């Protein structure tokens, strides 16, 4: 039998006053309790957005990202824009936010691509959010080291 | 100070000296390696106007019927080489014949990387631009495909991408609806390499280098042999010079 189940059964058997510790309400100001309950709810919501309903992605090699993943989800387009202007106009090619860098780590190990499937690293999230990606009309979506190997073969 | 103390002091001095010299030697040994590493991985410094990249093309060495530079360019940049009539062309071989004397010559023709580029003047979005080191490029992120630059270019150096493209090179993004031309293999130049056409020319007809450095091989040659810029009358100060025209 499930131990949790056990506990709830036991609680149900006891008077409601005991289960809710109503005497606490008398000693601790109600405001603080409301605050604590609200905090718990918020924590729950945060945890839910992390796991529930998020697209499952094939993150390729993965590993340590150049920035915090949650931050990258929100800001990747801004840093990519900044990087692209620096690269095209100023010739700075070793920036950590380069599209090539993203693809190098996050292209699927199965097809070396970040687009094309429902769980592809870029396409997975972009389908979920219904945001069109323009990048790969011009840029290669394939891992460059894999392409180099193909050529040498 | 006793004799022993003096001896110890002396030894310390010598050790310090030894450490200093060895650190110096190590720095000398490591520095070129680090420079090479920097070159291979691309610089984090913005390109500067102290450099102006250019080419000197010796038409006497350029052989009739040879198109190795064109092939090298197509391979490097993922161009089809003209399978369909609307496909892009970044470099082409031009063959000339003087009807009176019968003198023939051939030369490769591409973006001349002008110091005063007309394509940049006419671009309504600022997409056509000249990099600080003299390389003329299209920022395809902001190109709207109006093709004014194609009309303004006296060298017919630019192409418009009409059809959707697939399997572009990771270093050479290209896409439909934008104008493109020779980039002087900017992705290779930034790594410290030569453009593909210069490397691919087996007759060593194309010399690539820094026009702003008076000691570079290309500057010395331009100083000593007769060379011309094509349509010099337009005053565009092209980065590509031709010898033996």
The reply to whether B48 falls in a domain is no
Closest CA to B73 of B187, B177, B150: B187
pLDDT for B35: 43
Classify residue A79: in a domain, yes or no.
Answer: yes
- B35 with B58, same domain: the answer is no
End-to-end CA distance of chain B: 83
Q: Apex CA B40: angle with CA A103 and CA B44, to 5°?
A: 75
What is the extent of the structural domain holding A148?
Answer: 69-152
Q: Do A137 and B176 touch (CB under 8 A)?
A: yes
ipTM entry: 0.78
Is residue A61 included in any domain, yes or no?
no
A102 interfaces chain B, CB cutoff of 8 Å: no
Tell me the pLDDT of chain B (245 aa) as tens digits: 445 555 555 666 666 666 555 555 554 444 444 444 444 455 678 999 999 999 999 999 999 899 999 999 999 999 999 999 999 999 999 999 999 999 999 999 999 999 999 999 999 999 999 999 999 999 999 999 999 999 999 999 999 999 999 999 999 999 999 999 999 999 999 999 999 999 999 999 999 999 999 999 999 999 999 999 999 999 999 999 999 98
Determine contact: A84 vs chain B, CB below 8 A: yes
Record: contact B191-A89, CB cut-off 8 A: no
Joined together, the tokens standing for residue B184 give: 């002087």
Residues B227, B160 share a domain: yes
Q: How many domains does chain A have?
A: 2
User: A86 and A23 share a domain?
Assistant: no
What CATH number should be reported for the domain holding residue B95? 3.30.70.20
Phi, psi of A128 (to 5 degrees): -60, -40
Interface touch B131/A144, C-beta < 8 Å: no
Instruction: Identify whether residues B66 and B21 lie together within a single domain.
Output: no
B chain contacts of residue A144, beta-carbon cutoff 8 Å: 170-171
Range of the domain at B141: 53-243
Write the residue in A103, A138, A144 that is nearest to B140 by C-beta. Answer: A138
- Residue A113 is classified by DSSP as B
Tens of pLDDT, residues A89-139 = 999 998 889 999 899 999 999 999 999 988 999 999 999 999 999 999 999
Is residue B36 located within the same domain as residue B63? no
Residue B47 lies in a domain: no
Mutate to test the interface with A, among B46, B170, B172 (most CBs of A within 10 A): B170
**Is residue A123 assigned to a domain?**
yes
**Residues B25 and B124 placed together within one structural domain of the fold:** no
pTM: 0.75
User: Do residues A131 and A92 both lie within one domain?
Assistant: yes
**What is the tens place of the pLDDT at every residue in B173-188?**
999 999 999 999 999 9
Cβ–Cβ of B141/A91 closer than 8 Å? no
Cβ contacts (< 8 Å) between A150 and chain B: which residues? none
């Amino acid at each position: 039998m499930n131990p949790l189940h056990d506990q709830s059964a036991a609680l149900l058997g006891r008077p409601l006053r005991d289960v809710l510790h109503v005497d606490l309400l008398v000693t601790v100001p109600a405001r603080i309790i409301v605050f604590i309950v609200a905090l718990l709810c918020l924590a729950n919501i945060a945890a839910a957005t992390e796991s529930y309903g998020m697209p499952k992605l094939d993150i390729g090699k993965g590993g340590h990202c150049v920035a915090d993943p949650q931050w990258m989800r929100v800001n990747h387009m801004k840093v990519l824009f900044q990087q692209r202007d620096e690269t095209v106009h100023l010739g700075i090619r070793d920036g950590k936010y380069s599209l090539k860098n993203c693809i190098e780590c996050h292209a699927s190990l199965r097809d070396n691509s970040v687009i094309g499937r429902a769980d592809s690293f870029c396409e997975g999230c972009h389908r979920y959010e219904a945001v069109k990606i323009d990048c790969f009309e011009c840029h290669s979506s394939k891992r460059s080291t894999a392409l180099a190997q193909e050529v040498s073969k | 100070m006793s004799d022993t103390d003096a001896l110890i002091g002396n030894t310390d001095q010598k050790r310090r000296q030894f450490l200093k010299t060895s650190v110096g030697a190590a720095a000398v040994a490591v520095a070129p390696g680090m420079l090479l590493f920097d070159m291979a991985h691309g610089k984090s410094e913005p390109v500067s106007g102290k450099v102006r990249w250019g080419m000197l093309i010796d038409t006497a060495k350029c052989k009739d019927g040879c198109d190795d530079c064109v092939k090298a360019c197509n391979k490097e940049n993922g161009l089809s080489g003209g399978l369909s009539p609307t496909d892009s062309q970044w470099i082409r071989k031009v063959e000339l014949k003087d009807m009176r004397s019968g003198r023939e010559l051939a030369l490769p023709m591409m973006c001349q990387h002008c110091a005063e580029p007309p394509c940049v003047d006419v671009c309504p979005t600022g997409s056509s631009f000249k990099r600080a080191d003299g390389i003329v490029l299209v920022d395809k992120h902001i190109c709207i495909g109006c093709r004014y630059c194609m009309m303004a270019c006296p060298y017919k150096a630019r192409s418009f991408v009409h059809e959707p493209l697939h399997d572009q090179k990771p270093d050479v993004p290209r896409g439909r609806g934008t104008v493109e031309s020779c980039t002087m293999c900017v992705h290779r130049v930034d790594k410290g390499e030569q453009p593909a056409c210069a490397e691919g020319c087996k007759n060593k007809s194309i010399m690539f280098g820094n026009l702003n450095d008076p000691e570079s091989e290309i500057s010395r040659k331009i100083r000593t042999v007769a060379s011309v810029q094509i349509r010099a009358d337009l005053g565009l100060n092209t980065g590509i010079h031709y010898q033996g025209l």
